[in-house]
Chain A
Amino acid sequence: MIASRQPNGSAISALRSLLPVLVVLALIALVPLLSPSNRFLSLAISAGINVIALYGLSVLFGQTGILSMGHAALVGVGAYTAAILARDLCTGFWLALPAAALASALFAMIVGIPSLRVGGHHFVIMTFAFGQLLAIVLTNGGDYTGAATGLDLVGPVTLFGADMSDLTRYYLMVVAFVAAAAVASWAIINSPYGRTLRAIRENERLAASLGINVGRHKIGAFVVSGIFAGISGVLLAHFLGHISPTQFASFPSIYLALMVMIGGARLIAGPLAGGILVAFLPEVLNLDPVQSRIVYGVCLIAVILLLPEGLIAGVGQVFRRLLASGQPKQEREELDTASTTPSEVRR
């Protein structure tokens, strides 16, 4: 029994989950060969920047089970850090990256310590409030934060002397960052640290009984999500060249939560799928922004009620159930610990 198990068997199966994501990203990196329109590139860059933040959210929500409504605020801290550093210290893109990651991580810690103390359903409301507060503070920050109009960010992004500001190059750079974010998130999920976070998600009391410092790890997960968000913020600020407070208030946070849940927060492919779907579905279906928002909202509700582990996992499950339709259905329901299917509601 024991002998038949390869010690590296789980490492190989873990790699198998990352591989499709990297293949898809490699294909995406080849798209410029088809000389796509500038509109496509801009959309893809925005989607990619979101996906980086979503990988952080997937560690927080998918692995640890903590839902945050302040993730856009963490992206905003990163973006403002980049813009203020560029203005005051003429700091370039590459130096802004670690600085913004640090700033967002610090902000996450400052918000996380009191919010997680509150616990339960109130946590999500706390993060929402902190997100709104940040937007208010930025709006009232006078010249330092540029008030309601926000800040401009000028200065080229260079890599080994090459100007990356060109749309195609920026696109390629964002794809590389997305790949890095996916690999980082994959590494976290498959490490003992990721297991610890999942243990907390499953049962905090049992986790504590095994020596896990639940409070500290939850704050840690929040900080990790902040690092992803901070980096995403720098890319956003340099891409847009202008940032303003409303971009980082609670509604953008809601959209980020929506994307990660549509894609599936627990899967390594989830954030990528969610970010791409939400960015490109309206293009494909030829919807205007208002219609597409309605479609997202309906999708989100449908996903939560019908496919609680996200679209990708849900489609996979339906597929598997079709293949093995002889299997008893009961087993699947027991497997879905997060599911709330209508049949479970008793009253």
Chain B
Amino acid sequence: MSPILEIRGLSKRFGGVTALSGVDLAIEEGEILGVVGPNGSGKTTLFNVVTGVHMPSGGSVSFRGRDITGLKPHAISRAGIGYTFQQAMAFAGLRVLENVQIAGEHVRVNAGASHHPWPTPLALLDFVGLAALADERAGVLPFGSLRLLGLALALASRPALLLLDEPAAGLNDRETAALVGLVRQLPGHGITVCVIDHDMKLMQMLCRRLAVLDFGSKIADGPTGAVLADPKVLDVYLGGDL
């Protein structure tokens, strides 16, 4: 089976600084892949290039066999790739329900998942456990709920592939566990997930496969256990901690 997202030789330079150099990465349909690496390893740049914020300096990204290199952010989303941000999680001034309604109104129905597991915005809010807060303004939600709302927004855009950028940053253990529980259900709903984070504990809970970035290059890719045992990874990233 061909991968759902295929990144080939992706490079990005900012002035003289090389943030990504020739990264190859394939995401298989139905998996939860983790992309890890220390700060400055190129994780966020990879995320920004794939989601259309930055134009790549070289290489290509194809999604379900279609070349999506250099498309604008809204076009990437419409192609069926959903993504969440670390910072901007929801529209703070609008009601929670309105947030999810907006998110569902700009998808091409055939773009993402073929069947939508959550037919209404409320069903989706129910899934992430926020239905009781539907009429609140998003700005008054506690941080943990805001993260979940961010996830709900991305899901409402009916992605076939969901990119999560540090989805558990700022969450306590209980909230992280709730998030992990939700994300694990996604492949069962036909949604492939790619988590970008440096939190190893979270990655071990979520991912069977890990890719490791360092200085803009991929240095390891494989089953989580094998990658974590890789001396190169231990050396470069974990500093021998594990």
Contacts and interface: CB of A to CB of B under 8 A. Distances in A.
Q: Do A and B come from one complex?
A: yes
Interface of A: 1-2, 5, 192, 195-196, 198-199, 201-203, 205-214, 331, 334-335, 337-338
Contact of A195 (B74, B82, B102, B154): B102
Nearest to B158: A211
Given A205-B73, A211-B77, A199 B107 contact: no
A209 B106 contact: no
Given A212-B106, A334-B139, A5 B88 contact: no
23 contacts: A1-B126, A1-B132, A2-B123, A5-B134, A198-B102, A201-B93, A202-B92, A205-B73, A205-B88, A206-B91, A207-B91, A208-B77, A209-B84, A210-B77, A210-B102, A210-B154, A210-B156, A212-B102, A334-B139, A334-B140, A335-B139, A335-B140, A337-B93
Given A1-B131, A205-B85, A337 B92 contact: yes
B76 to A, nearest CB: 8
A210 to B, nearest CB: 5
A209 B139 contact: no
Q: Of residues A201, A209, A331, A338, which shows the largest number of chain B Cβ atoms within 10 Å of its Cβ? A: A209
Contacts, number: 93
Contacts of A337: 92-93, 139
Interface residues of B, number: 38
Interface string B114-152: 000000001100100001101001011000000000000
The prevalent SS among residues of A at the interface is helix
Which 9 residue pairs spanning A and B have beta carbons closest together? A211-B106, A202-B91, A208-B73, A211-B77, A337-B93, A206-B88, A211-B78, A210-B103, A208-B74
Q: Of residues B73, B131, B132, B139, which shows the largest number of chain A Cβ atoms within 10 Å of its Cβ? A: B73
Contacts of B93: 198, 201-202, 337-338
B122 A5 contact: yes
B100 to A, nearest CB: 10
A240 to B, nearest CB: 39
